Amino acid sequence: DTGVSQDPRHKITKRGQNVTFRCDPISEHNRLYWYRQTLGQGPEFLTYFQNEAQLEKSRLLSDRFSAERPKGSFSTLEIQRTEQGDSAMYLCASSPRGFTRGDNEQFFGPGTRLTVL
């Protein structure tokens, strides 16, 4: 198992364009989280999947953002009509089942750094 992977690692786009990021969690981890991290800040929660179901969305996730996790495996995060304020590191994390029994460590991927020009 190679851990959580994210693709691409870097993305430069022009304002108004659409972008899509992919996250491959650790196999058999049923929980998947997306976070956004801006320079000098801690990550901020965006959304949460349990298997294929999107169970929670932050108010940070505007209508231009959409996330999916088909078949409960990899996940995609799409940003439509990007704005300069969307420039940030987008982090994905996965966690195994049995959360309340203590298996609650979140394993983070390397992130996708988005720059909107």
The reply to whether 35 sits near other proteins by the rule CB under 8 A is: yes
User: By C-beta, is 50 or 80 nearer to other proteins?
Assistant: 50
User: Could you say whether residue 21 binds other proteins (CB under 8 A)?
Assistant: no
Q: Does 102 bind other proteins (CB under 8 A)?
A: yes
Told to check if 5 binds other proteins by CB under 8 A, we report no
Give least dist CB 32 to other proteins, A: 10
Tokens representing residue 60 in the block: 């940070």
β partners of residue 112? 90
Exposure b/e, 53-73, CB count within 10 A at least 16 = b = ebeeeeeebeeebbbebeeee
Tell me the C-alpha distance between 29 and 50, whole Å: 9
- For residue 21, CA distances in Å to 7, 50, 91, 97, 98 come to 6, 19, 10, 24, 27
Question: By rule CB under 8 A, what string of x and - marks binding of each residue 36-75 to other proteins?
Answer: ----xxxxxxxxx-x----xx-x-----------------
Query: Which amino acid would we find at residue 47?
Result: T
Residue 106 contacts other proteins per CB under 8 A: yes
- 101 touches other proteins (CB under 8 A): no
For position 91 contacting other proteins by CB under 8 A, the verdict is yes
